[in-house]
Amino acid sequence: MEENFIAFLQSVSATGARVCGLLFARFWRSTRDELLAYFAAAFWLMALSWAVLAIVAPTGESRPYVYAIRLRAFL
C-alpha cells in the first residue's frame, strides 16, 4: 500500500506543477516577460518528472535518467 500512496502523491505533485505552469504561461501571454516563460517550462518539466516517476516507478540504474529531467528544470 505504501507504493500506491507514493505514486498518488507524485501524481498530485505532477498535477500541481502542471497547474502552476499553466498559470505562469497565462501571465507570460499577457506580459511577454521571458522569465515567466522560463518558470512555466520549469514547472512543466517538474510535472513530467513526477509523472514518469509515478507511472513507471523506475528502480536501480534507470532512476537517474528521470532525475536528469528535474535537473534540467532547475537549470
For CA atoms 44, 49, 50, 56, give the dihedral sign: positive
pLDDT value for 29: 96
Instruction: Report the predicted TM-score, pTM, of the whole model to 2 decimal places.
Output: 0.86
- Report H helices in the chain: 2-31, 34-56, 63-74
Q: Evaluate if residue 1 carries a pLDDT over 70.
A: no
What is the reported pLDDT for 60? 66
Tens digits of residue pLDDT in 14-68: 999 999 999 999 999 999 999 999 999 999 999 999 998 888 877 766 778 888 8
Domain regions of the chain by residue span: 2-74
Q: Does 75 score more than 90 pLDDT?
A: no
